[in-house]
Amino acid sequence: MARIWIIFPLILVLYGLLVVRLFYWQVVRSSDLRLEAASQYYLTFTLPAQRGSILASDGKPLVLNQSAYLVYGEPRKITDVPSFAGQVSPLLGFETKDIQATLTQPERVWVPLAHKVEASRVNELKSLNLAGLGFEKEPKRMYPEGSMSAHLVGFVGSDENGNDQGYFGLEGFYNRELGGKDGMLQLERDVRGQPILVGETRRIEPEDGRSLVLWVDRSVQRSVQKRLLEGVTKYGAKSGSVVVMDPHTGGILASASVPSYDPGRFGEFAREAYKSSIVADSYEPGSTFKVLIMAMGVEKNAVTPTTIIDETGPVPVGDYFIRTWDNRYRGQISTTDVLVHSSNVGMVFVQKKLGKEGMLDALHRFGFGEPTGIDLQEETSPELRDDDEWKEIDLATASFGQGIAVTPIQMVRAVAAIANGGKLVTPQVVKAIRDSAGKTIGVTSRKSTQVLSARAARVTTEMMIAAVDRGEAKWAKPKGYPIAGKTGTAQIPVAGHYDEEKTIASFVGFAPADDPKFVMLVTLREPTASPWGSETAAPLFFTIAKDLFSYYGIAPQ
Amino acid sequence: MKALGFLPIVAILLLVVEMLVTNELAGFGKKVAETDRAIDALREENQLLQEKVASLSSLVTIEEKARVLGFTLTPKVVIAGKEDVAFQR
């Protein structure tokens, strides 16, 4: 009996330990073990989503996917590493010793050798029939038009997890739409690893990325890119940009910046090259800004095209004197002549007629100080002073486009309001979005705001036509075409003062003036051939305009 | 009653048939995998052809081919005015 009472508790304790252990494995660790078991009898594949394409207005691709592969090695299956490395490295473009070092890393059963290798190269690798060499689909982006519109489209790099991620431009802004959503396929497998048809299957279909159809016209873009490059070279400029927009819809027909980069080889270029200067860089617009202040002066009935101004000499503003650009003073001139001769003195007169309230209203109405909302990732906007921080001299200099910073897209959008009867539109690169089945989803057109009356827009247009026909750039103007525009030559601020020699030369305009097909801004930074907009940016504008007249079949009047 | 005697035989036969069919289907996984591979290969070929079409229809390629064929860029456009026509009503 005593022996039973000794053994019985022992049995109870052992039994208790068994129950605890079973509880541990069946309850506490159950989910881990279930997953481990599932990995043994389930095959799981990621069904990758195809990234969407970016198409020009004619449906031809600016960016599409190209067949490419991740090339990997399985060191345990490679019997002769030096021979393997020697055969593979020339085809991958790497040093043999680097491939060898990768393959001889300790404890590695799988190593990536090269990413996004093109299909033709992969076929050569496959023909080597090497054990331990594997391939996995890893498509890459292809740019049939080369680096044309690089700043518009952006590029695709990797995020911190190694997944494709769009950066800058449209690839960045529309990364989620373009990327789609990967799917998943899970199958039961047999002992040989083959799927069991009657077994359990779970499938989540991938959602391929959507494609973007742009407003961009390939031919216009190519012409603009080519002419800009020629212009930057001819005028010895440090950089330049051109943006062409449909003034009625806000659709961007072309956009080019120099220097540019190749989105297919973005890693070989400096990071500074990635941003489009049209949406990301600010500059002082100079005399091109005069048309906007003049338009507001006409809108508020502060001036008319024939209001007479006394231009007898420099005009005092506080402790400063405002002079004309050429130090010539023409006596009694009309406000139209103020634009024709680009008179800073005349613009101070207009500004004083508008008053502080009118000037600030002009800046706010035309959208300065805020991003335009264009669908490009890197858009920024220089800030405006708070309304109560504007001094008399600030208002005076702003009237002729100095002491105020804008981006090219802000400038061209504002001038488009003069071209289209007074509406401030939202610039847009994407016209429509298509799903993977080809169905057009469309893009909600954003609201435009009436910032000028049709009358003020019409009157200002006539003044701008006079500025082109009788101004400093009249020598370069194509005959027979009504073009409304304005030259600009702005000094560049450096360390609190303006540089004596360096300028930003620009020209903004639209044509044909009576029924504008396009509004365009050309900027050249630090042209060395001549600092003046009338001698550099204006002729470049007119050269591009002639191409556009020919392309659109617009005959002279 | 005699007919009822055949029922077990029929049941056994059907069971055997079911086992054979299921076994056959279970082995179809290999064929499915092969078909999937064939579909992938065709998709790959389509992709390559798409790339080729995109490349050949690019403006860069068209411009080069046009240049080789002797085409020139937009010639100087001359617009005939009213006074230049041979006949005027």
Its ipTM equals 0.73
Which residues in chain A touch residue B53, judged by CB atoms under 8 angstroms apart?
none
Q: Are A173 and A191 in contact (CB under 8 A)?
A: no
> Taking CB atoms and an 8 Å limit, are B79 and A144 in contact across chains?
no
Q: Are A340 and A471 in contact (CB under 8 A)?
A: yes
CA distances from A280 to A157, A214, A284, A285, A432 (A): 20, 20, 14, 15, 24
Which amino acid belongs to residue A313? Answer: G
Give the residue from chain B lying closest to A143, CA to CA. B55
In A389-527 the beta strands, taken as DSSP E runs, fall at: 423-424, 430-434, 449-450, 484-494, 497-511, 518-525
Least CB-CB distance to B29: which of A66, A142, A197? A197
Residue-wise pLDDT tens for chain A (557 aa)?
Answer: 788 888 888 999 999 999 999 999 999 999 888 888 877 777 777 888 899 999 999 999 999 999 999 999 998 888 899 999 999 999 999 999 999 998 888 778 889 999 999 988 999 999 999 999 999 888 899 999 988 889 999 999 988 888 899 999 999 999 999 999 988 888 777 777 666 666 777 888 889 999 999 999 999 999 999 999 999 999 999 999 999 999 999 999 999 999 999 999 999 999 888 999 999 999 999 999 999 999 999 999 999 999 999 999 999 998 999 999 888 889 999 999 999 999 999 999 999 999 999 999 999 999 999 999 999 988 999 999 999 999 999 999 999 999 999 999 999 999 999 999 999 999 999 999 999 888 888 776 677 999 999 999 999 999 999 999 999 988 889 989 999 999 999 988 877 778 878 899 999 999 999 999 999 999 999 999 999 999 999 999 999 999 999 999 998 88
Phi and psi of A416, rounded to 5°? Answer: -60, -30
Residue B16 DSSP SS3: helix
Which tokens belong to A347? Answer: 């613009």
Helix, strand, coil distribution of chain A in percent, nearest 5:
40, 25, 35
> Taking CB atoms and an 8 Å limit, are A144 and B54 in contact across chains?
yes
> Taking CB atoms and an 8 Å limit, are B59 and A119 in contact across chains?
no
State whether residue A50 sits within 8 Å of chain B by CB. Answer: no
- Single pTM value for the model: 0.85
Least CB-CB distance to A197: which of B25, B44, B74? B25
Q: Which residue from A374, A171, A380 is spatially nearest to A263, judged by alpha carbons?
A: A171
Which residues in chain B touch residue A148, judged by CB atoms under 8 angstroms apart?
59-60
Complete DSSP assignment for A106-158: TT-S-EEEEEEEEHHHHHHHHTT--TTEEEEE--EEE-TTTTTTHHHH-EEEE
Give the residue from chain B lying closest to A222, CA to CA. B59
Least CB-CB distance to B74: which of A60, A144, A550? A550
DSSP annotation of A38: H
Which tokens belong to A240? Answer: 């330049």
- Quote the Cα angle for A311-A316-A318, to 5°: 155
Q: Which residues pair with A321 in a beta bridge?
A: A316
Which residues in chain A touch residue B58, judged by CB atoms under 8 angstroms apart?
60, 144-146
Which residues in chain A touch residue B77, judged by CB atoms under 8 angstroms apart?
550
